[in-house]
Amino acid sequence: MRNLNQDNITQAVIARFADTPDPRLKEIVTSLVQHLHAFAREVKLTEGEWFQGIDYLTRTGQMCDAKRQEFILLSDVLGLSMLTVAMNNDKPQGCTEATVFGPFYVEGAPHYELGDDVANGASGEPCVVRGTVRGIGGEPVAGATINVWQADDEGRYDVQRPGLQGSQGRGELTAAPDGSFHFRTIVAEAYPIPTDGPVGELLQATRRHPWRPAHLHFKIDAPGYETLITHVFRDGDQYLDSDAVFGVRQSLVADWTPLPDGSHALVYDFVLNPAR
Ligand code: BEZ
Ligand code: FE
């Protein structure tokens, strides 16, 4: 086909994908072309703007390495990550809600015994976290694997500290036979997502702040149940209604109760969805 113009190029491109054998890939690529072209038409994209966009995405890719995933961060601030979580985690009433994974989970975190201090030297106010992992029928999930990770009081995860050996503020625990767990750590504080790359540029150009409300991350696995990836957010945080990555759910907000000795306590129970 020759002499394609702005009125017929979209259909011509879609037709070129007609023989895609994988029906799901065909559906995705067809819709992608449709929406990309519609977007370009709607904003009347100039050639200069197209080039700027390509340059932006190129720099986003160049920022990525084993410890830094700028594309996920871009998806996060555009709300695409949370939209995908919301569409794929429609659980029965009573189950703990899911939220964004974030870029700071590390495979193979150190295992701790119940009651241990997962802060492992990370700076912050001391805090005890306890709760229970249950199924939707109220049954305890004995031996559930609980991964927890968090930033320190300067808003940094261990993986953001160059030169740090070992893990701080992250660990894996095994729930007791009655589904209960407890561990020591530090109080979660609000922190900004990384702004030293293209995502930071976007936030600044659009006058958006980079802050996430204080939270602990949890990933909970147990045979026979869906993996739960979620946070517990700290009540009273000033960023609960303007999380830079749109991850807050009211059911995940909890109290970090101050104790007489200056430490804090958080109690939060998790309810897992049976595996589908
Ligand atoms: C986090 O909570 O660790 C996080 C989530 C999304 C983007 C950046 C950080
Ligand atoms: Fe986080």
Domain count, the chain: 1
**Which of 245, 246, 248, 252 for mutating ligand 1's site (highest number of atoms within 8 Å of CB)?**
245
pLDDT category of residue 255 using cuts at 50, 70 and 90: very high
For ligand 1, atom 4: residue with the closest CA: 102
Looking at the CA of 247, which ligand is closest?
1
Reduced 3-state DSSP string for 228-251: EEEEEEECCCCCCCCCCCCCCCHH
pLDDT at 170 over 90: yes
In angstroms, how far is CA 36 from the centroid of its own chain? 26
Looking at the CA of 245, which ligand is closest?
1
Dihedral angle, C-alpha 238, 97, 173, 181, nearest 10 °: 80
Residue 168, domain member (yes or no): yes
Residue 230 CA to ligand 2 center (angstroms) comes to: 10
**What pLDDT is recorded for position 266?**
98
**What pLDDT is recorded for position 68?**
86
**What pLDDT is recorded for position 150?**
97
Does the Cβ of 124 fall within 6 Å of ligand 1?
A: no
Tokens of 187: 């109080």
**Which of 73, 85, 100 for mutating ligand 1's site (highest number of atoms within 8 Å of CB)?**
100
Average pLDDT, rounded, for the chain: 96
Neighbours of 103 (CB within 10 A): 19
Residue 108 CA to ligand 1 center (angstroms) comes to: 19
3-state secondary structure of 83: helix
**What pLDDT is recorded for position 82?**
96
Question: Which residues is 145 bridged to in the sheet?
Answer: 174, 221
pLDDT digits (tens, 9 = 90+) for 217-250: 999 999 999 999 999 999 999 999 999 999 999 9
* Pair 130, 180: CB distance under 8 Å: yes
Tokens of 211: 């802050």
pLDDT category of residue 55 using cuts at 50, 70 and 90: very high
Residue 18, domain member (yes or no): no
Does the Cβ of 193 fall within 6 Å of ligand 1?
A: yes
Residue 104 CA to ligand 1 center (angstroms) comes to: 7
CATH number at residue 242: 2.60.130.10
Percent of the chain with pLDDT over 70: 100
Residue 23 CA to ligand 2 center (angstroms) comes to: 36
From CA 38, how far away is CA 183, in angstroms rounded? 51
pLDDT at 276 over 90: no
Amino acid code (one letter) for 11: Q
Nearest-atom number in ligand 1 for the CA of 194 is: 8
Does the Cβ of 76 fall within 6 Å of ligand 1?
A: yes
Residue 224 CA to ligand 2 center (angstroms) comes to: 27
Tokens of 35: 């929406």
From CA 92, how far away is CA 110, in angstroms rounded? 32
Identify each DSSP E strand in 62-144 by its residue range: 126-135
List of residues 6+ apart from 20 with CB closer than 8 A? 26, 29
**What pLDDT is recorded for position 98?**
96
Average pLDDT over residues 174-195: 97
Residue 33, domain member (yes or no): no
pLDDT digits (tens, 9 = 90+) for 125-169: 999 999 999 999 999 999 999 999 999 999 999 998 888 888 999
pLDDT category of residue 67 using cuts at 50, 70 and 90: confident
From CA 211, how far away is CA 189, in angstroms rounded? 11
Does the Cβ of 245 fall within 6 Å of ligand 1?
A: yes
pLDDT at 61 over 90: yes
Residue numbers of the domain that contains 240: 93-272
* CA dist 99 → 130, 162, 217, 232 (Å): 20, 28, 9, 10
* Pair 272, 228: CB distance under 8 Å: yes
